[in-house]
Structure 1
Amino acid sequence: MSEDDERVIIGKGTWIDKLASEMIEREKQLGRDTSMLRVESGLGASGIPHIGSLGDAVRAFGVKLALENLGYKSELIAYSDDLDGLRKIPEGLPSWLEEHLGKPVSLIPDPFGTHESYGMHMSSILLDGLDKLGIKYKFQRAIETYKQGLLKSQIHTILTNSERIGKQIEDMVGQEKYQKFLPYYPVCTKCSRLYTAQSYEYDSERMKVKYRCVDAEIGSRMLKGCGHEGEADIAKDLGKLAWKVEFAARWHAFDIRFEAYGKDIMDSVKVNDWVSDEILGHPHPHHVKYEMFLDKGGKKISKSAGNVVTSQKWFRYGTPKSMLLLLYKRITGARELGFEDIPVLMDEYNELEDIYFGKIKVDNEAKLVKSRGLYEYVNLLNPPKTAPTHVNFRLLIELCRIFKEDRISLVTKKLIDYGAIKAPEPHIDELITLAGNYADDFEDSETTAVQINEQAKKALGQLVKVLSSESEPEDLQNTIYNISKENNVAPKEFFMILYQIIIGASRGPKIGPFIMDIGRKKVAQTISRHI
């Protein structure tokens, strides 16, 4: 959606509300029953779940909240594709998984030894992230869905129309293989592999497919088939639909009205929409396409590439609210993502909270509505009654770099000295713990862009010399004040530049003592990176 001001404010004034409203409008035009508007999120269970996988469910939950806020009943189905075959071994996992390639992940042992299967282990990591974020969902496993025959009638209809579907897939996306065999993979009864078992004939009377287990290309490698020929009952034996048709079967079976998708599966969604509309007679769900998260090198964050930003790691450094802010801020545009974004998001959340509670004035009405709405969604439409005490997160990180022993009490004492807080609080203790983890695990190499004119640069250069000299200045606060005056820079402006350089904020504790606390030479190095 465009970020332009909306003339008519829908719901809370965010892209989430606009999406929910478009969805309701479409449902009315289709003349469908709107007593329950179900939204779905597909969870991959074949690799280590990252923030992108989590984001899909979090955004779908946002739409559920918006629908409820507009007066409709809604629920989120979190569907774990744990019958998917393992295509490659994710970075860092044991090599013995090689013998299980091509098998459904719910039939592979858990390499960590904590769950009943590989698939359940990966699903549990994702569900743990959703639970910590406060997302409410109905968990649906693929293996149970197929075992209970919940897609039986959809599989039957799809296989009965397989010739027509095969032609359509070629027309739409240029893929010819479903003209040669059926869009359904039984699990081979001899080797337990999925993608090597190619079904070539459907007996609609007996509801059975004939298959042979042959060599198949999975990703960029060949997987050897065991040569077994057999029959599989679509109602009783284990197997699954190909992705090109499976979403449609789920949408129909669970009556799904909304599902977002990443641009990497655009082709599959296009085909599934057609199958849902034309073959199953279920108007496809309302969609929104989102961009993928990239790592800081611009590569797609991937479950198997090892460049994974997981919720578990995120919560070591940032609050669940900081992650919800990342996911609810916007849906379009690819975003480079790394742990170094956490301090920015932590402070951005505080600013949003200050706007919500009227501590920061916003003159632009549309921006005010949108900021307040975003804050409410980040709090899952249950915002606190009063704002907790705020402390700049970068300030906490800097203090945690100084105090490594007895950290919570010493950092708290400093915050009281600086006038940043009045007394110790459990909420502040938690923030110090997070900032401490961040300080311990990451080098201070970030350089935030700060607007500095030539006069200010000259003044900063002079200050660097003072801070780098062997002799300690008698009164650093006064020295900084004099340097700014000598260079015709307003002291207030000069202090603000220093705060922006050191803690990425426009104000902070008294600058002279603060620099002495951090260490003169360290601050001199930080300033030097900006001039």
Structure 2
Amino acid sequence: MSEDDERIIIGRGTWIDKLASEMVEREKQLGRDTSLLKVESGLGASGIPHIGSLGDAVRAFGVKLALEDMGYKSELIAYSDDLDGLRKIPEGLPSWLEEHIGKPVSLIPDPFGTHESYGMHMSSILLDGLDKLGIKYKFQRARDTYQQGLLKNQIHTILTNSERIGRQIEEMVGQEKYQKFLPYYPVCAKCSRLYTAQSYEYDSDRMVVKYRCVDTEIGSRMLKGCGHEGEADITKDLGKLAWKVEFAARWHAFDIRFEAYGKDIMDSVKVNDWVSDEILKHPHPHHVKYEMFLDKGGKKISKSAGNVVTSQKWFRYGTPKSMLLLLYKRISGARELGFEDIPALMDEYNELEDIYFGKIKLDNEAKLVKSKGIYEYVNLLNPPKAAPTHVNFRLLIELCRIYKDDRTSKVIKKMVEYGAIKNPEPHIEELITLAGNYADDFEEQETGEIQIDDSVKTALRKLVDILSADNEPEDLQNTIYNIAKENNVAPKDFFMALYKIILGATRGPKIGPFITDIGPKKVAQTISKHI
């Protein structure tokens, strides 16, 4: 690629624009109608939805926005797989759910007693997160989809080609079971379980499958079948296609042109692409593979494990914009994620806003365009006309640690004293509430490793000695300034080092009074960890 090619900026300069552009180009090459370009996101309903589940829909919505920005009409379908069977009980949920293992989650009672089923409760958590983020979608339930026969033609075509599909699945991914039975699971009419009801014959004239309910291995456990033998009508009875073919049926039925996927279902996507292209004669959608979010221990964040980072918990500590920034910054690369990432994302959003409104200058044109583009997508392509007053979120957290009673008024008073704000504003009060929640719920965090040169370290050691003493200097601000000068360190570099150590930022309030408010000895301990 030439340097000129590398400088070509697509749309607003983000990965979202590039993806939408590639998708449109592919549609043109396929010669398909582009009057409505539908994108899809699958919503898992078998466990507590985490940010990874939410991210799939948020990113698909970003592609929808980019397509509309290019002049195309687009729609996001949020498909809830509420016919999926419950494989294990998510941590923290009642043990009585054990009797419902293997049943579709839309047939299991809601353990919280607030929705018609377990599946709708889990879906509602995810939809609530999307609503709070401002994501617009068309909600489609699997249960309705199958009961209304919306996939009946696709199911019929797939079942009449089941032998060919079974051979192809073995050839592509080494899985032999679909040569033994059909890639369709009825819900057993007697025990209501899904995976134990193995369909072995399809009557194409009557559009019914014959099945028997047998012992089946689910994950690492054996699930007992009830022995019932029966028939299920694919046009109206409850049942679902196996994952290896269901995506293809949905893509065809709903005319989906884009769907992202996680690397954990790569094999299923590979097979579904083939089924869509070769069996249903519907070119598979444009894809992008995204990496998974990991917890801070490097493990995959799981709906069934106890390491779930939900949008509801996130919004206790951070704004919807901070989450959108997390999801729109990039799509590739596995990322460790925890609530401790929120302060950095809150301040990073402010920095992007300053770039967008020209308060921070960038010399690199491509980086400037991309930064502005990400900011626009985080604001769902409807950015504000002017930037609100910014406050350093880590500064608010530190002040909230100091002031617990009458917190909002005291923190605002202190911010005015620091010159960080001129007057109280509603959005600052909201930020103080978030910062207060964070300060109350989390221990103080150490800032990451900071590069400090030797002359600055020498000056910091002198400051630590003074801050550790019982008698505090009358004018700490002036003392800090003099320590810098005496050690041939530019005061601004010394102050910046202190801001990085205390706040993880390059600037902040007047440093002397701020250290006095936090507590000199406490700050001395924090500085000591970096020198």
Q: Give the shorter-chain TM-score range.
A: over 0.9
Q: Distance in 2 between matches of 1:523 and 1:5?
A: 50
Q: Displacement, 1:447?
A: 2.1
Q: Displacement, 1:5?
A: 8.8
Q: Distance in 2 between matches of 1:5 and 1:310?
A: 41
Residue of structure 1 equivalent to 2:262? 262
Residues 447 and 530 in structure 1, CA contact (< 8 A), matched pair in contact too:
no
Q: Displacement, 1:465?
A: 1.5
Q: Secondary structure of the residue that 2:307 maps to in structure 1?
A: coil
Give the counterpart letter for 1:333 in structure 2: G
Q: Secondary structure of the residue that 1:185 maps to in structure 2?
A: strand
Q: Secondary structure of the residue that 1:287 maps to in structure 2?
A: coil
Give the counterpart letter for 1:362 in structure 2: L
Residue of structure 2 equivalent to 1:500? 500
Deviates more, 1:219-228 or 1:250-259: 219-228
Q: Displacement, 1:6?
A: 4.2
Residue of structure 2 equivalent to 1:285? 285
Q: Secondary structure of the residue that 1:286 maps to in structure 2?
A: coil
Give the counterpart letter for 1:178 in structure 2: Y
Residue of structure 1 equivalent to 2:316? 316
User: Pairwise mapping of residues 51-200 of structure 1 onto structure 2 (< 5 A)?
Assistant: 51-200=51-200
Q: Distance in 1 between matches of 2:488 and 2:100?
A: 71
Residues 50 and 311 in structure 1, CA contact (< 8 A), matched pair in contact too:
yes
Deviates more, 1:480-489 or 1:364-373: 480-489
Residues 276 and 283 in structure 1, CA contact (< 8 A), matched pair in contact too:
yes
Residue 441 of structure 1 pairs with residue 453 of structure 2? no
Which runs of no fewer than 5 residues in structure 2 stay unpaired?
Answer: none
Which runs of no fewer than 5 residues in structure 1 stay unpaired?
Answer: none
Residue of structure 1 equivalent to 2:360? 360
Deviates more, 1:341-350 or 1:227-236: 227-236
Q: Distance in 2 between matches of 1:316 and 1:236?
A: 43
Q: Secondary structure of the residue that 2:111 maps to in structure 1?
A: coil
Q: Secondary structure of the residue that 2:97 maps to in structure 1?
A: helix
User: Pairwise mapping of residues 124-523 of structure 1 onto structure 2 (< 5 A)?
Assistant: 124-523=124-523
Give the counterpart letter for 1:417 in structure 2: E
Q: Displacement, 1:70?
A: 0.2
Residues 326 and 345 in structure 1, CA contact (< 8 A), matched pair in contact too:
yes
Q: Secondary structure of the residue that 1:111 maps to in structure 2?
A: coil
Q: Distance in 1 between matches of 2:156 and 2:529?
A: 65
Residues 5 and 366 in structure 1, CA contact (< 8 A), matched pair in contact too:
no
Q: Displacement, 1:283?
A: 0.1
Cα offsets for 1:191-234 (capped at 9, x unmatched):
00000000001011111111010011111111000011111111
Q: Distance in 2 between matches of 1:195 and 1:446?
A: 48
Residue of structure 2 equivalent to 1:47? 47
Q: Displacement, 1:456?
A: 1.3
Q: Displacement, 1:528?
A: 1.4
Residues 58 and 327 in structure 1, CA contact (< 8 A), matched pair in contact too:
yes
Q: Distance in 2 between matches of 1:360 and 1:491?
A: 22
> Identity over aligned residues, as a percent?
88
Residue of structure 2 equivalent to 1:35? 35
Q: Distance in 2 between matches of 1:417 and 1:41?
A: 48
Residue of structure 2 equivalent to 1:20? 20
Q: Distance in 1 between matches of 2:497 and 2:283?
A: 56
Q: Displacement, 1:489?
A: 1.5
Q: Displacement, 1:469?
A: 1.2
Q: Distance in 2 between matches of 1:266 and 1:244?
A: 10
Q: Secondary structure of the residue that 1:375 maps to in structure 2?
A: helix
Q: Distance in 2 between matches of 1:307 and 1:354?
A: 34
Give the counterpart letter for 2:373 in structure 1: G
Cα offsets for 1:390-417 (capped at 9, x unmatched):
0000010011011100111000001111
Q: Secondary structure of the residue that 2:86 maps to in structure 1?
A: coil
Q: Distance in 1 between matches of 2:353 and 2:452?
A: 29
Q: Distance in 1 between matches of 2:290 and 2:6?
A: 21
Q: Displacement, 1:449?
A: 2.4
Q: Displacement, 1:126?
A: 0.1
Residues 88 and 304 in structure 1, CA contact (< 8 A), matched pair in contact too:
yes
Residues 293 and 300 in structure 2, CA contact (< 8 A), matched pair in contact too:
yes
Give the counterpart letter for 1:11 in structure 2: G
Deviates more, 1:223-232 or 1:452-461: 452-461
Residues 6 and 366 in structure 1, CA contact (< 8 A), matched pair in contact too:
no
TM-score normalised over the length of structure 2: 0.99
Give the counterpart letter for 1:219 in structure 2: G
Residues 447 and 504 in structure 2, CA contact (< 8 A), matched pair in contact too:
no
Moved over 3 A (4+): none
Q: CA 1:5/1:361 → structure 2, altered by over 3 Å: closer, same or farther?
A: farther
Residue of structure 1 equivalent to 2:7? 7
Q: Secondary structure of the residue that 1:303 maps to in structure 2?
A: coil
Q: Displacement, 1:59?
A: 0.2
Q: Distance in 2 between matches of 1:310 and 1:516?
A: 37
Give the counterpart letter for 1:83 in structure 2: L
Q: Secondary structure of the residue that 1:447 maps to in structure 2?
A: coil
Q: Distance in 2 between matches of 1:146 and 1:170?
A: 27
What RMSD in Å do the two structures reach over aligned CA positions? Answer: 0.9
Cα offsets for 1:143-200 (capped at 9, x unmatched):
0000000000000000000000000000000000000000000000000000000000
Deviates more, 1:43-52 or 1:498-507: 498-507
Cα offsets for 1:248-282 (capped at 9, x unmatched):
00000000000000000000000000000000000
Q: Distance in 2 between matches of 1:227 and 1:446?
A: 59
Q: Secondary structure of the residue that 2:231 maps to in structure 1?
A: strand
Q: Secondary structure of the residue that 2:258 maps to in structure 1?
A: strand
Q: Distance in 2 between matches of 1:416 and 1:359?
A: 21
For this pair of structures, how many residues does the alignment match? 528
Give the counterpart letter for 1:237 in structure 2: D
Deviates more, 1:459-468 or 1:304-313: 459-468
Q: Distance in 2 between matches of 1:199 and 1:321?
A: 47
Q: Distance in 2 between matches of 1:236 and 1:260?
A: 29
Residues 79 and 141 in structure 1, CA contact (< 8 A), matched pair in contact too:
yes
Cα offsets for 1:86-141 (capped at 9, x unmatched):
00000110000000000000000000111000000000000000000000000000
Q: Secondary structure of the residue that 1:19 maps to in structure 2?
A: helix
Q: Distance in 2 between matches of 1:203 and 1:87?
A: 30
